[in-house]
Amino acid sequence: MEETLQTGIKNKRSTVKCLNAVHLKIIACALMLCDHLWLVLFEGDSWEWMTCVGRLAFPIFAFQIAEGFHYTRSFKKYITRMFIFALVSEIPFNLMNSGSLIYLEHQNVMFSFCLALICMYLLKKAREKKTPVYILSAVGILIAGFLVGTFTFVDYGGYGILMVLLFYLTRDVRFGKFFQLVGMIYINAYMIGGLSFPIEVFGKSFYFPEQAFAVLALIIIWLYNGKQGTKNKIIQYSCYAFYPVHMLILAGIALIFLR
């Protein structure tokens, strides 16, 4: 009886956590596409919902970068692959955002993830050596990552680096989901903020930051079951290639039909 009950509980948990890594990648890519469609083709108040939905994409990618770092067998290969795709994606990113080949004011998100990987690598090394001042080292790495991300103008700036590190640092800690929720609210609603929507509740007006929709990504992230899903090179590189390819297509459509 007890064994049956435990099996039932285990199966219920497996049902609740129903998304593997491939599912998360597909969902994140779809959300990102929605945001970029708004940016390039459907910009305007009536289509504002598309960018609100798109806010959920980055946290899912950030979570996957933290997970990828945890499981990778070769940090060198992982960051090299990320850096190569960052270089490949830069021209499509520039074309989509500015219509020109060079756009020094903003760099694509793959560079953000490269910086985050370096920060996680440094945090891991400090922890492995059981540094007495690990907490101080961690704080220093967080600050350095934030500043470098901000001054190199990578996508999401230093805030994006902090989001990746948030998922990395809370991965195996007690009440990790609580810290993720608090951290996501603070980073997105208060630190990033951005455009806000006026909302009236009982005759009083409140402003809801557009970027705060990113917190809803936690619902999807918490459905992750820890499994990789279908594993092959085609799926792996298709997810990487989707980023530059879809931006290049959108930039081409904008160039031909809108500019």
DSSP secondary structure letters along 124-190:
HHHHHTT-TTHHHHHHHHHHHHHHHHHHTTBTTHHHHHHHHHHHHHTTTSTTHHHHHHHHHHIIIII
Secondary structure percentages of the chain, helix, strand, coil, to 5: 75, 5, 20
What is the pLDDT averaged over residues 142-171? 96
Q: What is the helix (H) or strand (E) element at residue 205, kind and residue range? A: strand 204-209
pLDDT of residue 2 exceeding 50, the answer is no
Q: How confident is the model at residue 1 (pLDDT cuts 50, 70, 90)?
A: very low
Instruction: Determine the residue type at 9.
Output: I
Q: What is the largest CA-CA distance in the chain?
A: 69
d(CA 243, CA 236): 12
Give the pLDDT confidence of 175-222 residue by residue, as tens digits.
999 999 999 999 999 899 776 666 666 667 667 788 999 999 999 999
d(CA 195, CA 208): 8
* The pair of three-digit structure tokens given for residue 39, joined into one six-digit string: 């940016």
pLDDT at 43: 73
Q: How large a percentage of the chain has pLDDT more than 90?
A: 66
pLDDT at 73: 92
pLDDT at 259: 61
Task: Report the predicted TM-score, pTM, of the whole model to 2 decimal places.
Answer: 0.89
The burial of 108, by beta-carbon neighbours within 10 Å (0-12 exposed, 13-18 middle, 19 or more buried), is given as buried
Looking at the DSSP assignment, which residues form a beta bridge with residue 200?
205
Measure Cα distances from 81 to 78, 137, 204 in Å.
Answer: 5, 27, 50
Q: What is the mean pLDDT of the chain?
A: 88
- Give me the residue spans of the domains in the chain: 21-258
Angle of CA points 119, 123, 128, to nearest 5°: 150
Q: Residue 236: CB partners within 8 Å, gap ≥ 6?
A: none
Measure Cα distances from 253 to 60, 242, 246, 247, 259 in Å.
Answer: 27, 16, 11, 10, 9
C-alpha 164, offset from chain centre: 7
